[in-house]
Amino acid sequence: MELIHAWRMQKPVADARTAHQRGGLAFVTGFDLDRPVPMRRIREEIDVVIRAVEAVGRRCVGVEPFLASVEIGFVRA
């Protein structure tokens, strides 16, 4: 994992952890697609985000494209 990628992953994981500690039932995160990226890389990035957020007590319920970004929805596990 690249250093920049690890740094960018800190925010969604920290936000998910905070929402879990506060008792929030739902949590949505995502990432922007800055340039044309192969679909394989996008799927890999989605898997990385899902694994990281599920590790803090969330379960993925949906992945949706939104313009030039991807939104991933989670609920409390």
Q: Looking at residue 68, what DSSP letter applies?
A: T
Closest CA to 53 of 26, 33, 32: 26
Q: Are 20 and 58 within 8 A, CB to CB?
A: yes
**30 closest CA partner among 9, 55, 58:** 9
CATH code, 61: 3.40.50.150
Q: What is the pTM of this model?
A: 0.83
Question: What pLDDT score was predicted for residue 6?
Answer: 62
Q: What is the pLDDT of residues 5-37, one digit of tens each?
A: 666 778 888 999 999 899 999 999 988 887 788
Q: What's the domain count of the chain?
A: 1
What residue numbers bound the domain in which 68 lies?
A: 3-76
